[in-house]
């Protein structure tokens, strides 16, 4: 099967690595960065650079670029790909891109997905074998994709080792704002606060424990990727922020009032999150 991957970063590169392990896929790569393309070739992430012909002849085209770029390119790609080619989007927001292709004459060639997997790193060097094993892949509006192309996608997902969940695009964007997008904002702003208040970088390095490191891990994520995500999911992110800020203010008032019994109860009630998240790995972002 011929696969063209547009965007050779963490997600696109990791998909390529896993599919190459299967042995029945020929991987062509596309990236705006010549350095990324060279790295992907040198690391054997892809078999060859892609061109217009390989795009046309691909069985599957994976669109693994920032969501704003994907929104710009998706219609032209649907015009360009072959009649029996599947265009697979793997971005973190789904409503806008599904709306964009709703009336496209080749809508049946498109499948909107979101693999819930990743790390805070980017570029081809961040690609990891086995990144998707056991992770959830959200699939939206599957009924609008041609059945034989659905089957082709499911074969790829099986080889990646992913579990499938079907969801409406708007529901996806609402839920992902809470469990992913808010986490990134919290991490970025915690990192910002510490940088502003702790002027001595050596103090941060010496005194930062594993709790701080794990909490600000996501602050190392690429702003090029995450700014468009916040833009595309603005309304849902604002709603989650309102609830989060309200809880922070409530905690601050309890501390001002020296109400440690209530603080204990707040934390004790929240401890059940460990049961909810049992089995979830740290790389599932």
Read off the pLDDT of residues 15-41 as tens digits, 9 standing for 90 and up: 999 999 988 999 999 999 999 999 999
Round to whole Å and give the CA distance between 196 and 177: 26
Tell which residue, 96, 71, 280, 54, has the closest CA to residue 180.
280
Residue 131 sits in a domain of what CATH number?
3.40.50.720
pLDDT of residue 209: 58
Residue 140: how many other CB atoms lie within 10 Å = 23
Domain boundary (169, 185, 218) is at 169
- Segment 112-137, tens digit of pLDDT: 999 999 888 889 999 999 999 999 99
* Cα 196 to chain centroid, rounded: 29
What Rg, from alpha-carbon coordinates, does the chain have?
Answer: 21
Please give the DSSP secondary-structure letter assigned to residue 86: E
Instruction: Extract the residue ranges of the chain whose pLDDT is less than 50.
Output: 282-284
Render 100-162 in DSSP notation, one character per residue: HHTT-TTGGGEEEEEE----S--SGGG--TTTTTT-EEEEE-GGGS-HHHHHHHHHHHHHHT-
Domains identified in the chain, total number: 2
Quote the domain boundaries for residue 182: 171-276
Q: Report the pLDDT value the prediction gives residue 197, as an integer from 0 to 100.
A: 72
20 and 144 together in one domain: yes
Residue-wise pLDDT tens digits, 206-216 = 655 566 677 78
pTM: 0.87
The answer as to whether 283 is a domain residue is no
115: left (phi over 0), alpha (psi -120 to 50) or beta: beta
Whether residue 139 sits in one domain with residue 11: yes
Residues 46 and 153 in one domain: yes
9 and 117 inside one domain: yes
Task: Looking at the structure, tell me whether residues 234 and 155 fall in a common domain.
Answer: no
Whether 284 maps to a domain, the answer reads no
Q: Looking at the structure, do residues 34 and 134 belong to the same domain, yes or no?
A: yes
Is residue 225 domain-shared with residue 141, that is, in the same domain? no
Domain boundary among 131, 151, 169: 169
User: Could you tell me the end-to-end alpha-carbon distance of the chain, in angstroms, rounded to an integer?
Assistant: 29
Q: Are residues 23 and 136 in the same domain?
A: yes
* Residue 91 and residue 188 in one domain: no
pLDDT at position 144: 98
């Amino acid at each position: 099967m011929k696969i063209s991957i547009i965007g050779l970063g963490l997600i696109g590169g990791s998909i390529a690595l896993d599919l190459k392990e299967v042995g029945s896929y020929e991987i062509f790569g596309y990236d705006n960065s010549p350095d990324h393309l060279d790295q992907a070739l040198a690391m054997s992430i892809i078999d060859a650079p892609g061109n217009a012909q390989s795009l046309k002849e691909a069985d599957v085209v994976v669109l693994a670029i920032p969501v704003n770029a994907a929104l710009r390119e998706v219609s032209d790609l649907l015009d360009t790909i072959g009649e029996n080619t599947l265009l697979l989007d793997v971005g973190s927001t789904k409503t806008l891109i599904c709306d964009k292709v709703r009336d496209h004459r080749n809508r049946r060639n498109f499948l909107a997905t979101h693999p819930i997997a990743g790390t805070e790193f980017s570029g081809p060097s961040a690609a990891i074998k086995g990144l998707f094993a056991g992770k959830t892949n959200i699939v939206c509006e599957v009924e609008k994709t041609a059945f034989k192309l659905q089957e082709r996608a499911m074969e790829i997902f099986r080889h990646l080792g992913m579990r499938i969940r079907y969801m409406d695009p708007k529901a996806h964007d609402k839920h992902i704002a809470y469990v992913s997008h808010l986490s990134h904002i919290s991490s970025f702003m915690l990192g910002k606060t510490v940088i502003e208040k702790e002027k001595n970088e050596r103090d941060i390095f010496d005194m930062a424990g594993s709790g701080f490191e794990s909490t600000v891990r996501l602050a190392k994520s690429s702003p090029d990727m995450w700014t468009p995500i916040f833009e595309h999911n603005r309304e849902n992110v604002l709603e989650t922020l309102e609830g989060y800020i309200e809880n922070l203010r409530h905690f601050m008032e309890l501390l001002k009032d020296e109400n440690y019994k209530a603080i204990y109860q707040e934390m004790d009630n929240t401890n059940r999150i460990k049961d909810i998240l049992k089995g979830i790995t740290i790389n599932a972002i």
